[in-house]
Amino acid sequence: GESVGLHLPTLSVQEGDSAVIKCTYSDSASNYFPWYKQELGKGPQLIIDIRSNVGEKKDQRIAVTLNKTAKHFSLHITETQPEDSAVYFCAAVTSGGSYIPTFGRGTSLIVHP
Amino acid sequence: DAGVTQSPTHLIKTRGQQVTLRCSPKSGHDTVSWYQQALGQGPQFIFQYYEEEERQRGNFPDRFSGHQFPNYSSELNVNALLLGDSALYLCASSLRQGSEKLFFGSGTQLSVL
């Protein structure tokens, strides 16, 4: 089955800096890659996603890039703000298969004011 | 537009007891999935319900069972509770079976003593 790995359990940045969180996946059939943000006491919320036929997608300060050859995808947050502090989860999905996302362990992003 | 709602928010049980958790999906959604999230881990898929039937199941024992009602709401039942069942239980709904975009509730924090 699919395995999703995260490179950093914790990432600490200063407000205004950029943050990059990288994930790897194992199944080359995976073709949909969402990122979820989980704030304390809340469930994960989808913040951005990308499909395998696209290399990059942007939404205001957030972007996701995908490298299918290397089987990794990254979340980029620019001009970080304290409210960006949360745990970020990457996931991989095989559309046309089970449609069930396999989640990584999560990176705790801490943005210092 | 109400999002995914779960009840109760917190629950304390002792080993061997049984527990029932409840979930109402986002308006317009007909598919409900349940996840277990241990501390510091990503969500782990338990099972998915669509049209009142269990459609897919993750690697969880038969002690975990569920139900979906005609109004698309769902219950998760766990029998013979173990200490290791202590976790945040998340319900996620999606627009239809096969939709990769999940909308999560805030979860039920279960503590087994």
Say if A52 is an interface residue toward chain B (CB within 8 Å). no
Listed in sequence order, the residues at least 6 apart from B71 whose beta carbon sits closer than 8 Å to its beta carbon are: none
| A81 vs A37: CA distance, rounded Å | 14
- Span A26-60, pLDDT tens digits: 988 899 999 999 999 899 999 999 999 989 999 99
| A22 vs A8: CA distance, rounded Å | 8
- Span B49-106, pLDDT tens digits: 999 999 999 999 999 999 999 999 999 999 999 999 999 999 999 987 777 889 999 9
Say if A40 is an interface residue toward chain B (CB within 8 Å). no
- Number of Cβ within a 10 Å radius of residue A85: 19
Smallest Cβ–Cβ distance between B101 and the set A43, A46, A103 belongs to: A46
Set of chain A residues whose Cβ sits within 8 Å of the Cβ of B3: none
Say if A100 is an interface residue toward chain B (CB within 8 Å). yes
Residue B42 in this model has a pLDDT that exceeds 80: yes
Nearest chain A alpha carbon to B48? A100
Helix (H) or strand (E) holding A51: strand A45-51
Among the listed residues B42, B48, B58, the one whose alpha carbon sits nearest the alpha carbon of residue B25 = B48
Name which of A89, A99, A108 to mutate to probe chain B: the one with the most chain B Cβ atoms within 10 A of its Cβ: A99
Taking CA A39 as the corner, what is the angle to CA A32 and CA A67, rounded to the nearest 5 degrees? 25
